[in-house]
Structure 1
Amino acid sequence: MKLKVLFVFISFLSLACITSCKGSGPDEGKKDDTPTDSVSEYGATVTLAEPFATKSVSVRPKVVGWPAEKTPIAPAGYRVVKFAGELKSPRWVYVAANGDVFVAESEANRISLFRDTNGDGIADTKSSFLEGLNRPFGMLLLGAYFYVANTDGLLRYPYKSGDTKLSTKGQKILSLPAGGYNNHWTRNILASQDSSSIYVTVGSGSNVGENGMEQERRRANILVVNPEGSNERVFAAGLRNPVGLAWEPSTGKLWTAVNERDELGDQLVPDYITSVQENGFYGWPYAYWGKNADPRMKGKREDLVAESIIPDFAVGAHTASLGLAFSKSNRFQAGAYVGQHGSWNRSQLVGYKVLFVPFENGNPIGEHKDFLTGFVGDGTDAAVYGRPVGIAFAKQGYMLVADDAGNTVWAVVAK
């Protein structure tokens, strides 16, 4: 009897091994049956979920504002103070060489100027620098001009260092396609390192090209123009909603933060930060994270799918990663700081923080870390106090974080 039981047991193990090992060799056509709990959404290498592995859901945050005496939470060794409050949708921050801090209050259609005269992280003066704009976002000082990117175009104004208000009428030097899907109205700008050109981000007008690609002309791109607005060309394409732009300090490479597509499930598609290759194609709308074809665009532009570049570092699906800044002082660890505005197309809130990605020799290394948190309330009702977006470093060395939902710009100061 014992021998018979042993034989049956061995036979069962053999059958189990055959079943589990079947098809374990290379098979490009095999469906990836990786369970959801082994999916990874962060890092230079990711394990992607299957499309539609979970239902596409909408969980919108309920912005309740910041309770008195409450602030975001920074790591040990830092304190958080209110640089400026009672603003109207402060979305982006730009720091001039003289230390002036410009804040785009996008819903108010204005740019405000702040000065911190004693370096404590709290603005001492505020000026209404420029009004009557159209959803302003990116800002830039280049030569004798102040540039601002409205949702429908790039404008420039005569400027001299120290100006607290611009009264001269600006010149629209470049028209841009306006509007867009789910807040893809932002237009960011950055000067080339030799000041000979300006990079301009334009997000897609749709989630995944559902309105027809003829509606996406000049969109989902990083454009580049001369300082006069002429000689426009596409620098990089297939970037669904590129927002943050920054120069990596050790290599001088251009990096961007990209808000990826919706409605493929909780864990697809990861937002990312990446170095930007000139003439590179990053997949949208035909593919994601390299050559993974979007099933909603099946069979379309397979030539572009084959060209799609794998981004450098994934920062989580639906995190709405928009802000991007690199540390340039020893007060903050070297690497990229990413402003995550937070999810709506996921069963549980994700993002709503500033994420840190360490760098070495110009490349991401090691594990990402939460840097600035506390934007989400303690309950289960999707309540949030604020939503971080733009990040910049003040001349005095502290970090500035624009919180458009909390109507505040926060300063993170090293102790």
Structure 2
Amino acid sequence: MKKLLIALLVFGALAAAGGVSLGYLSRREATVPIEKTYGPDPVLVEPKVELVPSVSVAAATPWPAGTMPTAAPGLAVKQFAGDLDHPRWLHVLPNGDVLVAESNAPPQPDPGFSVRAFAAQLIQGRAGARSQSANRISLLRDADGDGVAETKTPFITGLNSPFGMTLLGDKLYVANADAIVAFPYQEGATEIATPAEKIVDLPAGRNHHWTKDVIASLDGSKLYVTVGSNSNVGENGMEEEKGRAAVHEIDLATRQMRQFASGLRNPNGLSWQPDSGELWVAVNERDELGPDLVPDYMTSVKDGAFYGWPYSWYGQHVDERVKPQAPELVARAIKPDYALGPHTASLGLTFNTGDLFGPEMKNGAFVGQHGSWNRIPRSGYKVIFVPFANGKPSGPPWDILTGFLTDDGKALGRPVGVAISRDGALLVADDVGNKVWWVAPAP
């Protein structure tokens, strides 16, 4: 069976390398309309365990010259910056400069064969090869405020698969794949050559999910950092999951780290909700229960809370694949606040704290959906907006930026990190298109 699967994957890889979409390895298609899988109470079907995942990867294809994603009616999009190397995450500095983490997975010690890893290579258009990480944070400067960065300079180099960034006072904190590190920052600087100061180590080694995000507390005394799981549902053993699938809190005075919330399979996109002051996060849920399960989600993160992984999903729905079970944990598993559709790979999350988009969009959430690799039809591949009222989601999502998929199933881009620029526009990192997009109301 394994040899057959590998043969099918190799066939698909060759197809992807030739510029066409990977053929389906399974014809199991979604039965629930995608719009019903969003919101506080998504439609949840009975799980259908897949021995062979329904791989349906959109082969990475460069944006044709002069083309770009499609903005929603009333909005305009332009290229803020291009010629980047897997731009993953964004951070806007107080002076308006934009930091972009150009990053890819770190080297993996004896990763073995997995459908997921093979699909990840196809997603990036590099089947059969391991691409190097740029390990760089670049600075993008739009001096005249026209939505196009005039300069792009290497800001920090020699990092280890950097992802999240946060500025606190005169220190810039960076989440590497294996540690939180800090650098001195002076406003207006275009380069930092000072060696990194390690703050804390993070779970590393074999990284099923390597991206780490970081954000400072509102009072500046703590950092919060995300660490994804090392498996789909604990199949590598729970010893491999120590400190993973969690949000951690770091006390900057003592540099002590404690687990703040757990059971979050692959959390990213930490953001403070402006009305409630609560910490929110976007979470990628588990695979291989069929195309309609399990919805990714965004949720407020409560101190000491458990969100289910790996023992249950979307609250207290027990995952029968996980042995032994932990009924005492399942009994207190919290249902997430808002579903974001199955397999959408919702990674980026930021709240609209600016005024540019108008009062109806104030303090709502922009979400970057990187896109599915195992759903028929495909899901994600877009940026959405979820309206909020009184600190809670208040309606269905709106499509903000689409057009990342071609009619014949190729991926021109895949949105990841989202951020609000100093003037209130939306910035979107596109790690397959190697660009950052700028979105604002049309003139």
TM-score by length of 1: 0.88
Counterpart in the other structure of 2:86: 89
Contact 2:32 2:43 in 1 (8 A): no
1:4-83 alignment, distance < 5 Å: 36-37=31-32, 40-52=36-48, 56-83=53-80
Counterpart selection for 1:128 from 154, 167, 178: 154
Contact 1:36 1:49 in 2 (8 A): no
Counterpart in the other structure of 1:250: 275
CA distance in 1 between partners of 2:58 and 2:429 (Å): 18
Gapped runs of 5+ residues in structure 2?
1-29, 104-132
Counterpart selection for 2:391 from 341, 362, 379: 362
User: SS at 1:232's partner residue?
Assistant: strand
Counterpart selection for 1:231 from 256, 275, 281: 256
* Paired amino acid for 1:42: Y
Shift of 1:262: 0.6
1:110-121 alignment, distance < 5 Å: 110-121=136-147
Shift of 1:180: 5.2
Shift of 1:403: 0.2
Counterpart in the other structure of 2:225: 200
Deviates more, 1:294-303 or 1:319-328: 294-303
Counterpart in the other structure of 2:5: none
Q: Is 1:191 the counterpart of 2:216 in the alignment?
A: yes
Deviates more, 1:240-249 or 1:326-335: 326-335
Q: Is 1:259 the counterpart of 2:292 in the alignment?
A: no
CA distance in 2 between partners of 1:229 and 1:265 (Å): 45
Contact 1:38 1:47 in 2 (8 A): no
How has the CA–CA distance of structure 1 residues 135 and 235 changed in structure 2, closer, same or farther, with 3 Å as cutoff?
A: same
User: SS at 2:70's partner residue?
Assistant: coil
User: SS at 1:102's partner residue?
Assistant: strand
- In our comparison, the structure showing a higher alpha carbon Rg is 1
How has the CA–CA distance of structure 1 residues 37 and 174 changed in structure 2, closer, same or farther, with 3 Å as cutoff?
A: closer
Counterpart in the other structure of 1:297: 322
CA distance in 2 between partners of 1:73 and 1:192 (Å): 35
* Paired amino acid for 2:258: R
User: SS at 2:406's partner residue?
Assistant: coil
Counterpart selection for 1:341 from 370, 384, 387: 370
Counterpart in the other structure of 2:344: 319
* Paired amino acid for 2:437: W
Q: Is 1:413 the counterpart of 2:440 in the alignment?
A: yes
TM-score by length of 2: 0.83
CA distance in 2 between partners of 1:246 and 1:351 (Å): 20
Q: Is 1:276 the counterpart of 2:276 in the alignment?
A: no
1:88-167 alignment, distance < 5 Å: 88-106=85-103, 107-167=133-193
Contact 1:154 1:174 in 2 (8 A): yes
For residues 167-201 of structure 1, the C-alpha deviation after alignment (integer angstroms, 9 at most, x for no partner) is 1111112111125565x100100000000000000
Deviates more, 1:213-222 or 1:52-61: 52-61
User: SS at 1:297's partner residue?
Assistant: coil
Shift of 1:229: 6.8
Contact 2:49 2:288 in 1 (8 A): no
CA distance in 2 between partners of 1:158 and 1:263 (Å): 44
User: SS at 1:108's partner residue?
Assistant: coil
CA distance in 1 between partners of 2:356 and 2:324 (Å): 50
Contact 1:179 1:185 in 2 (8 A): no
For residues 116-171 of structure 1, the C-alpha deviation after alignment (integer angstroms, 9 at most, x for no partner) is 11111100122210001110001111122111111011111122222111111111
Contact 1:111 1:130 in 2 (8 A): yes
* Paired amino acid for 1:240: R
User: SS at 1:303's partner residue?
Assistant: helix
Matched residue count? 378
Shift of 1:329: 2.5
CA distance in 2 between partners of 1:70 and 1:228 (Å): 49
CA distance in 1 between partners of 2:312 and 2:86 (Å): 33
User: SS at 2:399's partner residue?
Assistant: strand
Q: Is 1:387 the counterpart of 2:414 in the alignment?
A: yes
Contact 1:188 1:244 in 2 (8 A): yes
For residues 18-40 of structure 1, the C-alpha deviation after alignment (integer angstroms, 9 at most, x for no partner) is xxxxxxxxxxxxxxxxx944783
CA distance in 1 between partners of 2:232 and 2:49 (Å): 19
Deviates more, 1:278-287 or 1:70-79: 70-79
CA distance in 2 between partners of 1:181 and 1:97 (Å): 33
Contact 1:104 1:111 in 2 (8 A): yes
Counterpart in the other structure of 2:118: none
Deviates more, 1:354-363 or 1:297-306: 297-306
How has the CA–CA distance of structure 1 residues 53 and 37 changed in structure 2, closer, same or farther, with 3 Å as cutoff?
A: farther
**C-alpha RMSD of the superposition:** 1.6
Counterpart in the other structure of 2:381: 352
User: SS at 2:328's partner residue?
Assistant: helix
Contact 1:91 1:104 in 2 (8 A): yes
Return structure 1 stretches of 4+ with deviation > 6 angstroms: none
Deviates more, 1:74-83 or 1:384-393: 74-83
Gapped runs of 5+ residues in structure 1?
1-34
